[in-house]
Amino acid sequence: MIISQPLELENESEFKPTELTNILKLEIKDIENIQHQAQPFKLLHGDVLSHYPHGRLFLCEDIHSEADRFVSRSISPTGLLSGQKATQATSIAKIYEDMFDTPTDKLNGARRYAWIFPTDISSTYNEDKKHLELEFILPKGSYATEFVWHICR
């Protein structure tokens, strides 16, 4: 799954649910669930979630309670690395995930955190060299380049 897709859903909150039913191909209740979430990365029914920073995978069945757990940093949604053994999303999340899944028998597949909570963030700026050094710690399997890209954006 392209990780930015749920972030893009945040921009839909300016529209009325009835305006989005045709655009997103979702039911009004599903759009309302997306719009009522406070966090920028919107959870979808059927998303594959994981306990954070370590834990087992499970499916998002109750968006409201899982959104609260996500905000409290006890769980995080995951993104798919295609392969035959990867845990698959269901329901609405599967619709989005299937757009980017390229199944192959040659790969096992896996999941990685789609939203991470960096720790120990610090920076040092060297005025003479016009150089910024950024230090942070990410969970295993996270992509530092994606984190830096989102900061610079």
- Where do the structural domains in the chain lie, given as residue ranges? 4-115, 116-153
CATH of 4-115, one of 1.20.120, 3.30.2340, 2.60.40, 1.10.10: 3.30.2340
Q: Whole-prediction pTM value? A: 0.79
Mean pLDDT of the chain: 85
Tell me: the pLDDT tens digits for 16-44? 767 777 766 778 888 888 888 988 889 99
In the numeric block, which tokens belong to residue 24? Answer: 């997103």
Q: Are 45 and 91 in contact (CB under 8 A)?
A: yes
Candidates 35, 50, 30; CA nearest to 91 is 30
- What pLDDT sits at residue 2? 40
